């Protein structure tokens, strides 16, 4: 993070251990499919929040978004093979980030 924004240049993410799904592994395929379902659900919930009229509806949808977000996190941690200690590091490093909009992360040079 530089200043109050993140810069996603290749030099910063080049060495990240990004897991590639093995198409020959049925368990990983199932995890991939579940991840796609959760992301689709998240996108749908985000669209629904934009259309609601009452604070009650918005609060209910926000709770569903939080639950879905945690499910996505757990699945990504599992796919990445993170230990409990590594998960704690990730969680501590992302506190306060979840409430930001994508525009708050993008730096336009």
> Would 1 be classed as within a structural domain?
no
Residue 109 — pLDDT band, cuts 50, 70, 90? very low
Measured between alpha carbons, how far is 64 from 43 in angstroms, rounded to an integer?
A: 12
> Would 18 be classed as within a structural domain?
yes
pTM (two decimals): 0.73
> Would 98 be classed as within a structural domain?
yes
6-53, pLDDT tens digit by residue? 666 788 778 887 888 889 999 999 999 999 999 999 999 999 999 999
Contact 4/105 with Cβ under 8 angstroms? no
Q: What are the phi and psi torsion angles at 5 (to 5°)?
A: -145, 165
> Would 4 be classed as within a structural domain?
no
Measured between alpha carbons, how far is 20 from 68 in angstroms, rounded to an integer?
A: 22
Parent domain of 74: 10-104
What's the number of domains the chain is made of? Answer: 1
> Would 5 be classed as within a structural domain?
no
Burial class (CB in 10 A: 0-12, 13-18, 19+), 96: exposed
Measured between alpha carbons, how far is 44 from 23 in angstroms, rounded to an integer?
A: 27
59-94, pLDDT tens digit by residue? 999 999 999 999 999 999 998 889 999 999 999 988
> Would 49 be classed as within a structural domain?
yes
Measured between alpha carbons, how far is 45 from 40 in angstroms, rounded to an integer?
A: 9
């Amino acid at each position: 993070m530089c200043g109050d924004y993140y810069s996603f240049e290749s030099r910063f993410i080049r060495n990240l251990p990004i897991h590639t799904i093995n198409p020959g592994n049925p368990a990983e395929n199932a995890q991939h499919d579940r991840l796609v379902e959760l992301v689709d659900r998240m996108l749908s919930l985000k669209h629904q929040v934009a259309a609601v009229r009452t604070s009650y509806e918005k609060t209910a949808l926000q709770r569903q978004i939080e639950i879905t977000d945690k499910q996505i996190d757990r699945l990504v941690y599992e796919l990445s093979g993170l230990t409990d200690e590594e998960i704690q590091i990730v969680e501590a490093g992302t506190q306060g980030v979840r409430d930001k909009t994508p525009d708050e992360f993008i730096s336009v040079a």
